Each structure stands twice: as C-alpha cells, then as structure tokens.
A and B are shown apart, each in its own frame.
Chain A
Amino acid sequence: TGSLGSSVASAEQDELSQRLAKLRDQV
C-alpha cells in the first residue's frame, strides 16, 4: 500500500501543478 500511497500523492501533486499552470495561462 506504501507505493500505492506515494503514487496517488505524486499524481495529485502533478494535477495541482497542471491546474496552476492552466490558471496562469501558462499551458
């Protein structure tokens, strides 16, 4: 479950970064 947890975390981090870039029209 440990590796699953960390992959969920990094997926969410990536999504946040993409949403931030979109917010700032930097896509």
Chain B
Amino acid sequence: MALPSQLKAIQHHLRTAQEHDKRDPVVSYYCRLYAMQTGMKLDSKTPECRKFLVKLMDQLEMMKKELSDNESISQEVVGNAHIENYALKMFLYADNEDRGGRFHKNMIKSFYTSSLLYDVLSVFGELSEENIQHRKYARWKATYIHNCMKNGETPK
C-alpha cells in the first residue's frame, strides 16, 4: 500500500524492513514495530493514515504469529540485544571501510541503515549515550560520503 505523505518519516525504516524480510525477519519485525509506533504519533487521524496503519498492524500480528518460536520476538529483551548487535555489526563494517579509505555505495548504505536501526532501538526504551553518538555519526558519515562521491571528490 502506498505510504501517505504524512508518514514520510518512516519510509526508510519500512524499506529496511522489506530488505530484511528474508535475510533477518527479526530486524524486519522491529523495524515495522518502530514504524507503527512512530506512525501513530505522526498521524493516526486522517483516513488514509489510519488505513495504512491498520494494514501495518495486521502485518505485525501475522509476523508475530509466524515467528512465535523465535525468542527475539517472544522476549523483547532478547530482541533488543539482537537489534543492537546487528546495528553495531553494520556500523563497524562501514567504519572499517571508511578508515581503510574504501568508499562505495555499500558502505554508505551500511552507515545509513545502521543509523535507522539505532532509531529502531528506541522502541525498547531510551538510547544509551554511545548509541546516540553512533546514530549521529553514522547518519552524518552516510550523508558526507554520499555528497563527496556525487561531487566527484574524495572523502577525507
């Protein structure tokens, strides 16, 4: 279903969820859960947003049923550790490429996706200071390197 413009802020989290449906369904589930909670805060009044959010809720309930035997879903404390480990692994991969002077689309995407996953971590509660810094750094790095490559410059 098309994303209403009022919910644009969760577009990339939902795309990350789709990208992980096969690769890592736990990441998909919590990306959609974050999108659901954030979407309800953004706009749950207008008909098109309500319709979108009801469909998203249907999908979450189905995923929870299908993944009921997965501890990362049945116990949120385990889910929290899963998402945090996944975000850190992605961040460290991109950071390692950056420090090695290897700039490419994949490392930019890894920086950006890790920053989205640090957003997702907020469903479990307040972010740690380290995670807040990682998110800020990862999002800045993705933007900076992307702009350098667009302008034909070598990132410092």
Given contacts A9-B50, A13-B45, A16-B54, contact A23 B40 (CB under 8 A): no
- In Å, the complex CA distance between A21 and B104 comes to 41
* Interface pair A12/B61, CB less than 8 Å apart: no
The contact of A23 among B44, B50, B60, by CB within 8 Å, is: B60
* Interface pair A13/B76, CB less than 8 Å apart: no
* Interface pair A23/B64, CB less than 8 Å apart: yes
Given contacts A20-B36, A24-B76, contact A13 B50 (CB under 8 A): yes
Residues of A within 8 A of B47 (CB): 9
Interface SS, B side: helix
* Interface pair B40/A17, CB less than 8 Å apart: yes
* Interface pair B44/A16, CB less than 8 Å apart: yes
Residues of A within 8 A of B45 (CB): 9, 13
Interface residues of B in 35-89 (CB under 8 A from A): 36-37, 40, 44-45, 47, 50, 53-54, 57, 60-61, 64, 76
B residues neighboring A (CB under 8 Å): 33, 36-37, 40, 44-45, 47, 50, 53-54, 57, 60-61, 64, 76
A residues neighboring B (CB under 8 Å): 9, 12-13, 16-17, 19-20, 23-24
